[in-house]
Amino acid sequence: MTILLDSHAVIWFLTGDRRCSATARNVIENEAGDVLVSAASAWEIATKARLGRWPEAVAVLADLQQVLAENDFGTLDVTMEHSLLAGMLPGRHGDPFDRMLAAQARIEGVPLVTTDPVFRAFDIQTVW
């Protein structure tokens, strides 16, 4: 099964944070599946680290591409199709990172690994 990781799932998994659920960790570690990290997540992580809102992400961010490769995580670029859907998704939730991840999960037909309940409004499959 291919999965897409929400930004916090990426950081919590890579840093061994206990907030990463056993279910999420098992799905991420499953050898049979592909794990994707969106370019939008890299943008969100970098933005929050720069603003001092995510200090534990700073160490991972320094070598993010290498760390992702070492963990056999693939990357998912943001496409025009993703962008259009993210902008057109119904609902009042305005976080552009969340909207992009929801659009990517829907278009790519993959579940999103996230603890954030806001994604229920976007009618996508989630795992946590």
In CATH, the architecture of 3-127 is 3-Layer(aba) Sandwich (3.40)
> At 112, phi and psi to the nearest 5?
-100, 125
Helix segments in 38-95, DSSP class H: 39-50, 58-62, 64-70, 80-88
pLDDT exceeds cutoff 90 at 101: yes
pLDDT for the residue 32: 74
The two tokens of residue 17 are 């944070």
Do residues 121 and 91 lie in contact, with contact meaning Cβ atoms separated by under 8 Å?
yes
Residue range 101-106: mean pLDDT, rounded: 98
- Going from N- to C-terminal start, the domains of the chain cover 3-127
User: Which residues are within 8 A (CB) of 111 and not within 5 positions of it... i.e. 6 or more apart?
Assistant: 1, 3, 4, 105, 124, 125, 126, 127
Residue range 105-113: mean pLDDT, rounded: 98
Question: pTM higher than 0.85 for the full model?
Answer: yes
- 9-65 pLDDT per residue, tens: 999 999 999 999 999 999 999 867 899 999 999 999 999 999 999 999 998 999 999
pLDDT for the residue 91: 80
